[in-house]
A and B are shown apart, each in its own frame.
Chain A
Amino acid sequence: MSKNYSILDLIRRNRSPLENHLIDGLVDGRVSRRDFIRHGSLLGLSLPLLGGITTAAGFGGMPSLARAQGAPGATIRVASSVPAATIDPVTIADAGGLLVMQQVAEFLCVDGPDLVLQPALAESWKPNDNGTVWTFKLRKGVKFHSGGEMKADDVVASIDRLADPANSSNALSVFTGILQKGATKKVDDYTVEFHLDAPNGNFPYMVSSDNYNAVIIPASYKGDYETSFDGTGPFKIEKYTAKVGASFVRNENYWGPKALPERTEFTFFTDVQPMILALQGGQVDIINQMPVLSGVALLSDPNVDIISLKSSAHQQLHLRCDDGPLKDPRVRRAIALSLDRDKLVAGLMKGRATPGNDSPFAAVYPSTDPSVPQRKRDIAQAKQLMDAAGAGKGFKVTLTTERYLEIPEYAQLIQNWVKEIGIELELNILDQSGYYGDAVFGKSNWLDSVMGITDYGHRGVPNVYLAAPLKSDGTWNAAHFKNKDYDTLATSYIAALDLEAQKADAGKIQKLLLEETPVIFGYFYDYLTATAKGVAGVQPTAMSQLFLDKASKA
């Protein structure tokens, strides 16, 4: 398709230099269409505008989000993990709880399944020149279920509550070093500014569904969420019974298109196996989150559809850099070279994963530099590295990890593979509380072990993975990796507003981490949702959220 420069010039007139640079990248071929849409949404360009630009640039319009609408009025039944604690937007930390909360409460923007940021309670957003201030324009006419209109005061209070160290905020780890209490400012009733501690090019993700605590609730909230379940979402609470289940009804006053289902019912389970039996027995329609190994039986069940989302969720294999037998980077590289990533993806994960390249830059991120070569299994090179490091005769080391998902099986595979280069691996597999302990250095098997595997959930941008587990002062730096060059690059990446600048930093980080290998990223696993045949319009996210407003049953 040919480019329409007259339309492109018209579009450029009202755009910032940053936005125009992104458009130039698309037109010149430096930025792919997919990356353009993702990064454009991050900068606050609306989806229709992004579609107009891609059409004018000769790449065709946006893929249509419109689906054949199913019949309204269904009751959709969901099997969910049981909320582990009281439902409170400030403290909530588990998949079951955030799923319930997300049915009634909404975010400023939503990190969609394709990592494109979609407007929700905010209609648009944009950064200042250096990314230290982000301005969000709020949607007008949005009503809470309790009746009041959602305005800037509610946004300021909701976000301030999460950024306040005096609260028990689970989002404090996201906002530390980025946004302080008092730095969220009301400009007018429908405009809010976020004044950041430092430049941040990916900030909208921090107040999107990616930060699952960041729902907007009334400013008057006093910490008793289960008495009201107030929010602005397409469903309202009907009944919630702790440890048992929850039901919701359609919100007839919703600001957007009304939800198709009349009711939704969530049944809580403490284990995956009963969820699978309930789906097979016709007692539920959806399993929100299905681990691949536990759900193998459903992958080939003709009565079940699997929604498979590419995600950045992964298991980090940390290798302690400051002491012990893994101190030499050549040994760490040798271990990484002994892993057969193709077998991990095809065998362990049944094809529902993509290989990792020992950095947090998953293929799903637009900023990932694809020109960095993929690390492959090479036993000969691994043995050479072991010899060069003076470890040719091998050694014995303990791999400590948690009993969660496929991690024990992954640990056994690693045990077999490293044996080929002379490393005798002893496995110490603990339950999760035993592994994480107090989650501070000196009181945690996770942070104190020589070698360990830790599950990290999906994030729409790699900022969290780049900082806490890898920066010298990172609070989750189990590898005890301290590298000034890395710290500088990570800070630069996080600050960058421009996609090409991010990509340049990402490439350098990817190469540095391949050389140092403090953490092995073997694979990034897909987020799987199972639905009964005939159930349509279900939209999960890899953050365990489930949007049911367009769901229907045949």
Chain B
Amino acid sequence: MRRVSLSLVTLFLLSIMVFLGGQVLPGNVGRAILGPFADQRAVDTLNHTLGVDRPLLTQYVSWIWNFVRGDMGMSYVFRSPVAPFVVDALGNSMKLAAVAFIFVVPIGILGGVIAALNLNRPLDRIISLGGLSVTVLPEFVTGIILILIFGVWLRWLPISAAWPRDAGFFTQLYYLILPSLPLFLVLFGYIARMARSGMIEALDSDYTRTAVLKGLPWRTVIWRHVLRNALLPTITVIATQTGYLIGGLVVIETLFRYQGIGSLIFTAARGKDFPMLESGILTIGIVYSVATLAADFLYSVLNPRIRLGSDQ
């Protein structure tokens, strides 16, 4: 409960920071919509119509009061309710994140385990160095290379991640393969490296030595004693990547023309569309908080020594 309260305070502070940060951006909403060459009278009229010429505190209080009651407000730029934009974009981002996670988490962990079990052998070197190399490549570089190979030359996969209207589950999955590949490459090295170091530490621990000496089969030692402890830091890493995977994929979303929440808040910031920007960022904040709480919970399940809210 204490953690939930702290998350709410964090989200409240986040909303204030986003609001104040938005005021620092140059220009104003009317100017952003009508462009630099519009008549100032038209800009003033539009700002008045949208209500952005009201005092800042009034604007903020009005928006946050509606938000806590479940109303995200109206977009200044699109002059329609914000909620459908945010819900759709969040759904899209979560689909892409899920596809990336489904592939990268097991394969990354498997890679780390294999590397640790083959410590300092060629297989370890290939996984570690290979993973590190693809991790440092920016997504837009790997993205363009993958599009050229699979979309333009081979034409196996669609270039755009935006699937046709009324597409079913498998069609959507087909459209998400290509954009999820750069994410796979970014995260694989990271997750594999964490899994590898956790495994090495666990393999070198006293409890593993005890398990081996008391005659347990090697497979049981790995599954029941090593992996359970080795994966704890990896879970934390995966949880912290949730924020990136949900809200930080502006480049991937732009490259693959995908309507995720990252590009939604990016365009909202550029257009000074405050209700859209605030709602988008707070939604990401909520998702991130939930993911962190879930990771903490999972951590405690896997490691009985940890107790949530304990005073030990």
- Residue among B33, B151, B255 with the highest chain A CB neighbour number at 10 A: B33
Cβ–Cβ contact A85 & B78, under 8 A: yes
What string of 1s and 0s marks CB contacts (under 8 Å) between A428-450 and chain B?
Answer: 00001110111110000010000
A168 to B29, CA, bound (A): 12
Cβ–Cβ contact B160 & A267, under 8 A: yes
CB-defined contacts of A172 to chain B, threshold 8 Å: 38-39, 41-42
The answer to the question of B73 belonging to the interface, with a C-beta cut-off of 8 Å to chain A, is no
Cβ–Cβ contact B270 & A283, under 8 A: no
CB-defined contacts of B34 to chain A, threshold 8 Å: 91, 93, 168, 170
| Of A271, A282, A438, the contact of B27 (CB 8 Å cutoff) | A438
A270 to B38, CA, bound (A): 23
A86 to B273, CA, bound (A): 12
Cβ–Cβ contact A277 & B148, under 8 A: yes
B149 to chain A, nearest CB (A): 11
The answer to the question of B267 belonging to the interface, with a C-beta cut-off of 8 Å to chain A, is yes
CB-defined contacts of A438 to chain B, threshold 8 Å: 26-28, 31
A65 to B263, CA, bound (A): 43
The answer to the question of A84 belonging to the interface, with a C-beta cut-off of 8 Å to chain B, is yes
A374 to B212, CA, bound (A): 89
The answer to the question of A398 belonging to the interface, with a C-beta cut-off of 8 Å to chain B, is no
B39 to chain A, nearest CB (A): 4
The answer to the question of B218 belonging to the interface, with a C-beta cut-off of 8 Å to chain A, is no
What string of 1s and 0s marks CB contacts (under 8 Å) between A91-117 and chain B?
Answer: 101100000000000000000000000
CB-defined contacts of A270 to chain B, threshold 8 Å: 254, 257, 263, 267
Cβ–Cβ contact B46 & A165, under 8 A: no
The answer to the question of A169 belonging to the interface, with a C-beta cut-off of 8 Å to chain B, is yes
The answer to the question of A255 belonging to the interface, with a C-beta cut-off of 8 Å to chain B, is no
CB-defined contacts of A93 to chain B, threshold 8 Å: 33-35, 38
What string of 1s and 0s marks CB contacts (under 8 Å) between A235-273 and chain B?
Answer: 000010011110000000000000000000001111101
The answer to the question of B226 belonging to the interface, with a C-beta cut-off of 8 Å to chain A, is no
The answer to the question of B256 belonging to the interface, with a C-beta cut-off of 8 Å to chain A, is yes
A173 to B37, CA, bound (A): 7
CB-defined contacts of A440 to chain B, threshold 8 Å: 40
Show 27 A/B contacts (Cβ-Cβ < 8 Å), sorted by A: A85-B33, A91-B33, A93-B33, A166-B45, A168-B30, A168-B42, A169-B42, A170-B42, A173-B37, A173-B39, A242-B80, A242-B85, A243-B259, A267-B160, A271-B255, A273-B144, A274-B159, A274-B257, A277-B151, A277-B152, A278-B257, A281-B147, A281-B159, A432-B36, A434-B26, A439-B40, A446-B36
Q: Residues of A at under 8 Å CB distance from B?
A: 82, 84-86, 88, 91, 93-94, 165-170, 172-173, 176, 226, 239, 242-245, 267-271, 273-274, 277-278, 280-283, 432-434, 436-440, 446, 468, 475-476
Other A-B pairs beyond A88-B79, A433-B32, A436-B27, 4, CB < 8 Å: A91-B34, A436-B26, A436-B36, A439-B40
